[in-house]
């Protein structure tokens, strides 16, 4: 399982991007220091167009806990789908990842914790134990956790202090069971981003 922050603290990552990234699980990164990390973080800097585009791409990478190579593979697959704009396909695919669904259901306090719950065998999809965080959920899928999953520190922490205020409308939750009633939408992304800048960043990827 990969770490999304490449050794940086979760607060430093969010401060460098100038926005709180829910998937990192640490709220309040910009409350006391709303500027970049480091000795010169509060000084104004001229940012290149490339750096602006890369920051938008990094928001997706850090939120979903992906390596760059993984994100590039998702981009390549999205570009092959001609049914809609490839950026929309990319976002829908990222939202469909099992680890993300566990996080969006507020069953895990961060994307890293959601990955751990999946890899440790705490997640059931249609009654079957799944340990692949990148599995893409489908409409009609039913999700729940094992008894160990519901008793885990990750689940209890997420329930005590939910990282997100609400669950997307594409899921219904009854007791300990969640059902996928529709595919997620690009608008379900829980932070601000500029899709056009991500499109421009990856324009050479085929």
Q: Note the pLDDT of residue 2.
A: 43
Q: What CATH number has the domain bearing residue 160?
A: 3.10.290.10
Structural domain boundaries enclosing 120: 97-187
Q: Cα-flanking dihedrals φ and ψ of residue 151, to 5°? A: -95, 0
The sheet carrying 142-145 orders its strands as: 128-130, 123-125, 142-145, 177-180, 171-174
What are the tens digits of pLDDT across the range 90-118? 999 999 999 999 999 999 999 999 999 99
In a domain, 103, yes or no: yes
Q: What percent of the chain has pLDDT over 70?
A: 87
In a domain, 130, yes or no: yes
In a domain, 134, yes or no: yes
The residues, any chain, with a CB within 8 Å of residue 1's CB and separated by 6 or more, are 115, 116, 119, 133
What are the tens digits of pLDDT across the range 128-171? 999 999 999 999 999 999 999 999 999 999 999 999 999 999 99
Distance of CA 187 to the CA centre of its chain: 13
Tally of structural domains, the chain? 1
In a domain, 12, yes or no: no
In a domain, 105, yes or no: yes
To the nearest 10 degrees (0 to 180), the angle between helices 111-119 and 153-160 is 150
What is the reported pTM?
0.87
């Amino acid at each position: 399982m990969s770490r999304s922050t490449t050794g940086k603290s979760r607060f430093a990552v969010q401060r460098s991007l100038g926005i709180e990234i829910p998937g990192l699980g640490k709220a309040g990164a910009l409350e006391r220091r709303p500027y970049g990390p480091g000795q010169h973080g509060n000084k104004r800097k001229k940012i290149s167009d490339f750096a602006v585009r890369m920051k938008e791409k990094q928001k997706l990478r850090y939120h979903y806990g992906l390596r760059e190579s993984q994100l590039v593979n998702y981009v390549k697959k999205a570009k092959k789908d001609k049914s809609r704009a490839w950026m929309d396909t990319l976002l829908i695919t990222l939202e469909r990842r099992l680890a993300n669904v566990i996080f969006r259901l507020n069953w895990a306090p961060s994307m890293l914790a959601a990955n751990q719950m999946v890899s440790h065998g705490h997640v059931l999809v249609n009654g079957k134990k799944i340990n692949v965080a990148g599995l893409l959920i489908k409409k009609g899928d039913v999700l729940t956790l094992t008894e160990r999953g519901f008793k885990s520190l990750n689940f209890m922490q997420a329930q005590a202090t939910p990282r997100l205020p609400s669950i997307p409308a594409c899921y219904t939750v009854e007791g300990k069971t969640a059902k996928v009633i529709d595919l997620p939408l690009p608008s379900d992304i829980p932070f601000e981003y500029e899709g056009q800048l991500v499109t421009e960043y990856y324009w050479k990827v085929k």
